[in-house]
Chains A and B, each alone.
Chain A
């Protein structure tokens, strides 16, 4: 009989760890919890929970339908709680969405012109490629959480003082 139970977190059920300081500053660890962050976020608010010289991991509350985004580089989404559907459009004119210097997820004002590429339905543990040169939009029928691996962009929200242990 398997006696192991794997514990994943969710918006409704998570435990946060912590830091025991011996001779250190807890702020150096920028310690947060993605479920706690998402519980305090607006739908599709892209809150940086990890940053490394221009690269970020964002915790995103998935709820309802997002706007359209595109990026000049690959991004990746990992669903940590709930279910999300992602629709993709191959951009007819990427230059209308972003410049060569753009970084991160670029919010688009409206559905862009282009060719429908397909869609993905992802649940907890699933990782989705958000490919360079494609626009994408998320739809969730209930509340959940995903991580986005991307670059620090115009939609990235930095509120470290609100989310990290001090």
Chain B
């Protein structure tokens, strides 16, 4: 299978039994059946494999693809995941799960980001059936994820992450969301006011005197657990997102990030980044602010769709500064 960038994705012919293709990326093999996605590798001469429910696998892979492998680690579950090196990406199985790692049964390989992205996109494309949206909340996702291969849902999986250059609504920048451009108000935010700020710009200053309703913008998000960028101050990015049910991955930080809970509440399970050992549980309610240290992995649980401002620092050499110990993993001492 060849992509537009002439990157060769290793894919099998469709299975006679299920209709799904299988894929190979280096020493990893990916296959799915009616219910399960399976990742296989070889360690110490032994064939190893790990299975996930196909819907959970596709939800996780959807975020990894949409986020461009994000900052640091994207753990699909305790066993498999990816680590972004910004140009190359590690794929691992068991490398951050002590039972596998300590017995030498884990496997990690580094790939060019473009090859891994092309492979993951091909898997998503082939394994996501019509009637299943891996980006959506459970009530909206549909149940077409199981069974034999049944069409595609490319409109769902090819959504681009929205990122402004300065602020949405400014001339030439990201668009605001509306019914007209395909972003109706989500059912869980039907009570969020949609009023616009009053903007009175003097002639010639229309591109600088600007404001928009951020909460209305978020109320119209059609996806969950997928940050947009809505303001840029140097390397500081405000990345608000709407969250419902469970973050489909465990995000391992390679830098400190911050959460500002704008509405409702989210419960975060915090684990050690390298071992998965539990460290804390953070309950955030509207108005709460908390740092996520650089040495943890975290997974969020939201019983009602909520608005979360994820605040990131996109300074390029941050991972090295934390990894080398030049920066402490927590942001402030008091």
Contact = CB atoms under 8 A, between A and B. Distances in A.
Interface residues of B, number: 76
Contact of A127 (B205, B230, B280): B230
Contact of A7 (B198, B256, B263, B284): B263
A136 B50 CA distance: 57
Contact of A52 (B170, B236, B284): B236
Contacts of A142: none
Interface string A50-90: 11110101010000000000000111101010000000101
B304 interface: yes
B205 A88 contact: yes
Interface residues of A, number: 71
Contacts of B160: none
A164 interface: yes
4 A-B pairs with the lowest CB-CB distances in the bound complex, closest first: A125-B215, A9-B287, A160-B334, A17-B283
Given A27-B334, A73-B234, 19 more contacts: A4-B191, A6-B264, A14-B287, A17-B288, A20-B282, A21-B279, A24-B280, A29-B282, A29-B293, A30-B334, A34-B289, A55-B233, A55-B236, A59-B289, A118-B209, A124-B193, A127-B211, A128-B210, A129-B167
21 contacts: A8-B262, A14-B285, A17-B283, A17-B284, A19-B280, A19-B281, A19-B282, A19-B283, A24-B279, A31-B288, A32-B289, A74-B233, A80-B262, A118-B199, A120-B200, A120-B209, A124-B193, A125-B213, A127-B214, A129-B167, A160-B333
Interface of B: 166-167, 170, 187-193, 195-202, 205, 208-216, 230-236, 238, 256-258, 260-265, 270, 277-293, 304-305, 311, 313, 315, 318, 327, 329-334
